[in-house]
A and B are shown apart, each in its own frame.
Chain A
């Protein structure tokens, strides 16, 4: 691949790197190494060529409070088995409550601001947050919650949820979560695997001006979770669930006065902290286990070095409490920053409500999604003109690929600040590519690769596998892989004894390296452009959907013989893509409109509204490989008007022409309704 020299959409002022925490860390490394590195590119090369040394220096600079031994920094061999700081212990929560590394975060400083769409506002100081976390942790401990227990949250994104979350983690129990609006079946497919002992839940939640009552769904869910011993209701709505003890959060908070003294206990550096759920292409959802120390180390690096986050910052990242960006956002407490939580619809009561909160709360770093920015542009919003965004210094976008024109729109209509497209995900509870202070921003590109992450583009040349870093000239394209150990690699998958499923998910495609499932272009500028998913997982407007979840719902329809769910690039759609479901009917020509609507309704209620395809079309057959396996990749290529990359591997390639030419599918490619 080759490319010209694009002009940046944002260029930092001179000296920006030197003034940043990244600059301070660069100087720290140079001092310890006794040699000049000079710039960020050299620091990156050092970080991947001498990974253990880099991570050891970062842990020292960041002031990680480790007991036990600080060596080895990386134990074990290879990306799949390596363990960071295998002989050390720490408390994740203690680092959030008392930021490490001399960061100024007095007890009276604001730790968290909770906002919701109805206008409620709650502020907790660092001292008050620590006190509440201690009280709830003590109450949970009395109820038998301890190391190894799994706790589930179906919660709003509020300060109460934050207290419950940190109290759980402080005891060495693991936290799993799902958004309150996720269908009961989907929650069960996830939570059922980890067998939670305790559930924190909001019985009601507001969304777009209406209050949704979750009690019936919670009761149905609890009935199918035999491991569940207790439910704690975070809001004030009475919650009664047969066979399970239910009590209000206030009781936990109120019963242990005077017991909140002392720092949280330490656990092994690699003790399980989170079990996050992720949709795969087939089979049940993955329950990804993330370790405490690795999560903290990676988040501190991303937040302090790449986002330059510190005590003067206010970070609002728009997320539910069920997405991995929530875990990322909360880790920002360890930088001394104030975390701003928002619960509710981003477009209520006004279309630009989220930006008015950014202005009102003097948010300095705002995190959002490509879908939201696209919505603002399409609505003709001009947040920079309508609101005082003078405090804002950085915007991050994630969830899906940020299209080139949105960079110009944001620069013109939001603020002349860097816009960092950051990408990684639930699998690594962090980012492979993001931005850095001192780096220019180019349209469509993430300004930098994460320090310490040996990100490469994997491609085959004949039988040879090439793993290429950013090239000296032009760019290279391939599958995004990571070729060296990294701290937020999951510990494994829950219940996956022996690690077979873990290996198959991330290490079977290219032996010895982590394969992430994204296609990437790495450039000579040290930037990365995410090109979309390289596997069958769907990403529609930032929501990741496993096709298997759709197929499971379709099993209830005997009329449908086979189906393939694929993402179609659609310039005329919000977010630039849409979900298309190709179906082969048991009886040709029997996909009626009532049946189409019935399928959509079933997907909406049994899975989630995000699982509903914009378009369902009947086709005579689906592309299959010679051993009969459905090729979603070939179907996706056809829907997008592309020649199938694996055409030779198909036994019925002729069906691709029919799919490609289907009028409703072809119309969307040209920007029509379809």
Chain B
């Protein structure tokens, strides 16, 4: 399983460009370090959510690549995208723009994580 974001790089990928060793960023400033750590945390949180709601322990196996399409690989259907959106909005206090096709934002693990991390209202998980 590829634990790194590939392609379509948004701001979190700045950190990835420097690489990760032992869960810490190398050569990244404090802000980047937060983003890098958040990517890993958030990534795991999304996988947990997929397990809780759809795949019951198999999500990580099903997601072969962080950029692989959820739709094409049977990870989520449209109703699942809607549930995912509600989960992210509640957990991370962000408002997802529903005037755009959710699948464009959410069709892969990497896209979801980057969407949240770059959202203007994102300040980490609600306490």
Within 8 A of B (CB), among A570-615: 572-574, 594, 597-598, 600-601, 604, 612, 614
State which size class the interface on B falls in: 20 to 34
Q: Say yes or no: is A5 at the interface (Cβ < 8 Å to chain B).
A: no
Give the 8 A-B CB pairs with smallest separation, nearest first.
A380-B98, A347-B78, A601-B56, A597-B57, A597-B56, A600-B56, A208-B77, A673-B90
- A351 — which chain B residues lie within 8 A by C-beta? 78, 101-103
In-complex Cβ contact of B71 among A209, A380, A604 (8 A)? A209
- B121 — which chain A residues lie within 8 A by C-beta? none
- A672 — which chain B residues lie within 8 A by C-beta? 90
**Contact: A573 with B74, CB < 8 Å?**
no
Q: Say yes or no: is A506 at the interface (Cβ < 8 Å to chain B).
A: no
Bound form: Cα–Cα A671–B89 in Å: 11
Shortest Cβ distance from residue B23 to the other chain A in the assembled complex, whole angstroms:
21
- B83 — which chain A residues lie within 8 A by C-beta? 574
Q: Say yes or no: is A379 at the interface (Cβ < 8 Å to chain B).
A: yes
Shortest Cβ distance from residue B113 to the other chain A in the assembled complex, whole angstroms:
18
In-complex Cβ contact of B79 among A210, A375, A597, A673 (8 A)? A375
Bound form: Cα–Cα A209–B78 in Å: 11
**Contact: A601 with B57, CB < 8 Å?**
yes
Q: What 1/0 flags go to B73-90 for Cβ under 8 Å of A?
A: 010011100110111001
Bound form: Cα–Cα A614–B103 in Å: 23
A348 with B78, Cβ < 8 A, contacts A594-B57, A597-B56, A600-B56 known: yes
- A673 — which chain B residues lie within 8 A by C-beta? 87, 90-91
- A572 — which chain B residues lie within 8 A by C-beta? 86, 90
Q: Which residues of A contact B (CB under 8 A)?
A: 208-210, 345, 347-348, 351, 375, 378-380, 572-574, 594, 597-598, 600-601, 604, 612, 614, 671-673
Shortest Cβ distance from residue A149 to the other chain B in the assembled complex, whole angstroms:
38
Bound form: Cα–Cα A245–B102 in Å: 47
Nearest chain-B residue to A674 (Cβ)?
A: B90
Q: What 1/0 flags go to B31-46 for Cβ under 8 Å of A?
A: 0000000000000000
Bound form: Cα–Cα A531–B77 in Å: 30
Q: What 1/0 flags go to B16-51 for Cβ under 8 Å of A?
A: 000000000000000000000000000000000001
**Contact: A347 with B99, CB < 8 Å?**
no
**Contact: A604 with B56, CB < 8 Å?**
yes
In-complex Cβ contact of A345 among B52, B78, B87, B91 (8 A)? B78
Could you pull out 8 A-B pairs where Cβ atoms are within 8 angstroms? Answer: A345-B77, A347-B78, A351-B102, A572-B86, A574-B79, A594-B57, A612-B56, A671-B90
Q: Which residues of B contact A (CB under 8 A)?
A: 51-53, 56-58, 71-72, 74, 77-79, 82-83, 85-87, 90-91, 98-99, 101-103
Nearest chain-A residue to B98 (Cβ)?
A: A380
**Contact: A348 with B90, CB < 8 Å?**
no
Output the residue of B79, B83, B101 with the most chain A CB within 10 A: B79
**Contact: B51 with A597, CB < 8 Å?**
yes
Shortest Cβ distance from residue A430 to the other chain B in the assembled complex, whole angstroms:
28
Nearest chain-A residue to B53 (Cβ)?
A: A614
Shortest Cβ distance from residue B48 to the other chain A in the assembled complex, whole angstroms:
9
Contacts A345-B78, A594-B57, A673-B87 given; 5 further ones with Cβ under 8 A?
A375-B82, A380-B99, A572-B86, A572-B90, A574-B83
- A348 — which chain B residues lie within 8 A by C-beta? 77-78
- A671 — which chain B residues lie within 8 A by C-beta? 90
Nearest chain-B residue to A353 (Cβ)?
A: B78
Nearest chain-B residue to A371 (Cβ)?
A: B79
Nearest chain-B residue to A672 (Cβ)?
A: B90
Bound form: Cα–Cα A601–B56 in Å: 5
Nearest chain-A residue to B89 (Cβ)?
A: A572
A573 with B86, Cβ < 8 A, contacts A347-B79, A598-B57 known: yes
Bound form: Cα–Cα A348–B76 in Å: 12
Shortest Cβ distance from residue A406 to the other chain B in the assembled complex, whole angstroms:
15
Bound form: Cα–Cα A271–B90 in Å: 54
Shortest Cβ distance from residue B34 to the other chain A in the assembled complex, whole angstroms:
22
Bound form: Cα–Cα A497–B38 in Å: 64
**Contact: B98 with A379, CB < 8 Å?**
yes
- B87 — which chain A residues lie within 8 A by C-beta? 673
Shortest Cβ distance from residue B80 to the other chain A in the assembled complex, whole angstroms:
9
Bound form: Cα–Cα A478–B121 in Å: 46
A574 with B82, Cβ < 8 A, contacts A380-B99, A601-B57, A604-B56 known: yes
Nearest chain-B residue to A602 (Cβ)?
A: B56
A598 with B77, Cβ < 8 A, contacts A573-B86, A672-B90 known: no
Bound form: Cα–Cα A351–B85 in Å: 14
- B71 — which chain A residues lie within 8 A by C-beta? 209
Bound form: Cα–Cα A208–B90 in Å: 27
Shortest Cβ distance from residue B79 to the other chain A in the assembled complex, whole angstroms:
6
A378 with B90, Cβ < 8 A, contacts A208-B77, A598-B56, A614-B53 known: no
